[in-house]
Amino acid sequence: MPSFVDKARIHLHAGKGGDGAVAFHREKYIAAGGPDGGDGGRGGSIVFLPDDNMTTLMDFRYKRKYTAPDGANGHGKRCAGKDGADLEVRVPRGTLIRDTESGSLMHDMSDGKPFVAARGGRGGWGNMHFATPTRQVPRFAKPGLPGEVRDVTLELKLLADVGLVGFPNVGKSTLLSVVSKAHPKIANYHFTTLYPNLGVVYADEGSSFVLADIPGIIEGASEGAGLGHDFLRHVERCRLLVHVVDASGSEGRDPVEDFTVINRELCEYEPALAERPQIVVANKCDIITDGGEALEKLRAHVEALGFPLLTMSAATHQGTAELIRLCAEKLSALPPIAPFEPDYVEPEPAPEGVEDVRIEHGEDGVWQLEGEWLKRVAATVNFSDYESRMFFDRCLRKAGIFDRLEELGIKDGETVCIYDLMFDFRY
């Protein structure tokens, strides 16, 4: 099983709000103390936090569902229920949070700020809110609202100052192992590196930067060839690119062509990468066999485009110190990469009242009413209490439900069914 995971899909379920309480004040020598049921507590939200000690999304391979606690119900003596605790989910800095259904970006965790991905439901009102001069003994309260439920996709784009790019087997992993304490897998075959490796490079006292070894890119990577998208996404965060080219031609390829192909793939994947500062490194100069002809062609081509070129042999450490100094010098003048801008748009809330209610006249003559608004209103009602039933009746009339039934042709005495509740309609 891979130890590096950079993409995960998880399910979020924020906590439900606590229900309001139905209670009455009872105290010696105080007659008719009145309603004093408290409100329910708010449900817990799900909050993402950036963690600099995490470098992979491996934790989300084993746990896919995250549920925040519900708010507590209200109590008597006007005591509100306890709010549900927020559930904190830690992710590596640089993680993108996307809405799975639309694919839109909700938040970029590279800005270091907490992000509330699913909000808990509001607590319901206790019966103390429903007392009026004509309804002095309300025996009903509001239930808490459900918390948000959504699926999100986590996508890690590594935060590194410098990224090593190039064809497979050009010496990127060897270079990382030489200039840092990282220990990437090194072997003489293509795609030895299957996931990015990070290393901290110390340029001078008090000066260091993070170097990322990006797995080898091939032609067509921007269209998904090989593992192109999996590799290229990690290049986007790098402030500076070090383009490693095999100057020896040991793979039978032309260095100039290699350089052109990789830059084309970077540009086609993300046009902004074409403007990213770049240092070109001609590696494996210790095993050049053509007298340096290919190296000189590469130098002329690269310098004509305005890129500096360094000659190097990672295997013998030749030229690595010069590369570190040049990287540190360029990074000191480069601004940080700006976070990605969210493009997620919250869906419009479901309409309440008449627009939310669906009315059907069944073949058995029963009028069926359904809707989230009706569910919430019916849940507040104590149907064994007359005043509570009258409150329910007034809610339906005020929302226009009865007017709509009359427009559809309901007759006096016909049966109306609202989920588990059935009653005869009267004008």
Q: What is the DSSP string of 67-129?
A: EPPPPPPP-STTPPPPPPPPEEEEEETTEEEEETTT--EEEEGGG---EEEEPPPPPPPPGGG
With pLDDT > 90 as the criterion, what percentage of the chain qualifies? 28
Give me the pLDDT at residue 279, please.
92
Give me the pLDDT at residue 185, please.
60
Q: Which segment, 148-152, 166-170, 246-250, is predicted with the most confidence on average? A: 148-152
Query: What is the Cα–Cα distance from 60 to 349, expressed in whole angstroms?
Result: 30
Kindly tell me the sign of the dihedral angle through the C-alpha atoms of 169, 175, 178, 182.
Answer: negative
Taking residues 245-256, what's their average pLDDT? 82
**Collapsed DSSP state (helix, strand, coil) of residue 142:** coil
Statement: residue 387 has pLDDT above 80: no
Q: Which segment, 7-21, 279-293, 341-355, is predicted with the most confidence on average? A: 7-21
CATH 3.30.70.1450 fits 162-331, yes or no: no
Contacts of residue 266, defined as CB under 8 A and 6 or more positions apart, other chains included, come to 165, 217, 222, 232, 235, 241, 273, 274, 276
Dihedral-angle region of residue 378 (phi above 0 means left; psi in -120 to 50 means alpha; beta otherwise):
alpha
Query: What is the Cα–Cα distance from 240 to 299, expressed in whole angstroms?
Result: 19
Taking residues 387-395, what's their average pLDDT? 81
**Collapsed DSSP state (helix, strand, coil) of residue 232:** helix
Residue range 166-224, pLDDT digits in tens = 888 888 888 888 888 777 666 554 555 556 777 888 887 777 888 888 776 666 545 54
- Output the six-digit token pair for 198: 């990070």
Give me the pLDDT at residue 1, please.
40
The 8-class DSSP code of residue 64 comes to -
Contacts of residue 370, defined as CB under 8 A and 6 or more positions apart, other chains included, come to 357, 358, 418, 419
Give me the pLDDT at residue 278, please.
92
Give me the pLDDT at residue 149, please.
95
Statement: residue 226 has pLDDT above 50: no
Taking residues 255-277, what's their average pLDDT? 85
Query: What is the Cα–Cα distance from 178 to 327, expressed in whole angstroms?
Result: 15
Statement: residue 18 has pLDDT above 70: yes
With pLDDT > 70 as the criterion, what percentage of the chain qualifies? 90
Query: What is the Cα–Cα distance from 312 to 286, expressed in whole angstroms?
Result: 8
Name the phi and psi angles at 273, rounded to 5: -70, -25
- The least confident of 61-65, 145-149, 174-178, 198-202 is 198-202
CATH 3.30.300.350 fits 353-424, yes or no: yes
Please state the pTM of the whole predicted model: 0.74
pLDDT band (50, 70, 90) for residue 300:
very high
Residue range 400-426, pLDDT digits in tens = 888 888 888 888 888 888 887 888 887
- Output the six-digit token pair for 109: 């965790």
Give me the pLDDT at residue 119, please.
95
Give me the pLDDT at residue 349, please.
58
Domain boundaries of the chain, sorted by first residue: 7-156, 162-331, 353-424
Query: What is the Cα–Cα distance from 89 to 11, expressed in whole angstroms?
Result: 12
Query: Strand (E) positions, 363-406?
Result: 367-370
Dihedral-angle region of residue 234 (phi above 0 means left; psi in -120 to 50 means alpha; beta otherwise):
alpha
- Which among 287, 218, 217 has a CA at the least distance from the CA of 250? 287
| Greatest Cα-to-Cα distance within the chain, rounded to the nearest angstrom | 108
Topology of domain 7-156 in CATH is Spo0b-associated Gtp-binding Protein; Chain: A, (2.70.210)
pLDDT band (50, 70, 90) for residue 350:
low
Sole residue written with tokens 């606690």? 69
Cα Rg of the chain (Å, integer): 33
- Output the six-digit token pair for 180: 């840092």
Give me the pLDDT at residue 44, please.
97
Statement: residue 234 has pLDDT above 80: no
Query: What is the Cα–Cα distance from 314 to 82, expressed in whole angstroms?
Result: 61
Query: What is the Cα–Cα distance from 82 to 75, expressed in whole angstroms?
Result: 10
Give me the pLDDT at residue 340, please.
81
**DSSP-H helix ranges across 40-167:** 59-62
- The least confident of 211-225, 329-343, 359-373, 389-403 is 211-225
Give me the pLDDT at residue 228, please.
45
Query: What is the Cα–Cα distance from 140 to 128, expressed in whole angstroms?
Result: 9
Cβ neighbourhood burial of 266 (10 Å; 0-12, 13-18, 19+)? buried
Residue range 73-120, pLDDT digits in tens = 999 999 999 999 999 999 988 899 999 999 999 999 988 899 999 999
Query: What is the Cα–Cα distance from 169 to 251, expressed in whole angstroms?
Result: 9
**DSSP-H helix ranges across 270-364:** 293-304, 320-331
Query: What is the Cα–Cα distance from 319 to 295, expressed in whole angstroms?
Result: 15
Query: What is the Cα–Cα distance from 151 to 100, expressed in whole angstroms?
Result: 6
pLDDT band (50, 70, 90) for residue 351:
low
